[in-house]
Structure 1
Amino acid sequence: MFVVNGKGSLIRLIAGFFVLASVLLSVFVSQYWLIFTGLVGTMLMISALTGFCPMELILKAVGAEQRKICS
């Protein structure tokens, strides 16, 4: 898996897991888990508009492999 967008992107996998888990938690535990879903969605929009992604920084810090882009 790679940090950058595209096939095999860890960021997309983690975001999808967070959304699915928080929706399930909101159904079975408490509605307040939907706030977490909203925060994940907000960060996805900020990442798309600005290029800033905290999860990318976290994954780089723990040593996730980065895909090399050919120019």
Structure 2
Amino acid sequence: MRWLQILGLGARAGRDTALMGLAARLPAAVLSQLLGTSISCATDWTVVAGNTRPGYAAEVARRHPT
């Protein structure tokens, strides 16, 4: 991150964009485990990302194995 700053490139915007993309696609519990964050932090990210998928587990359970 320091090298990016020396070059005049901010890493925060890219980090936040990547987190927002993950939070939009994954449930908070998975995001929390993946990133090693608290569940409340992961829940906040999913809410901000507009992820309103409380039925994620049910959706995964209905998938047919290929």
Query: Which bracket does the TM-score occupy, shorter chain normalised?
Result: 0.3 to 0.5
Q: Report the TM-score when normalising by structure 2.
A: 0.32
Quick one: higher RCO (CA 8 Å, sep 6+), 1 or 2? Answer: 1
Q: Report the TM-score when normalising by structure 1.
A: 0.31
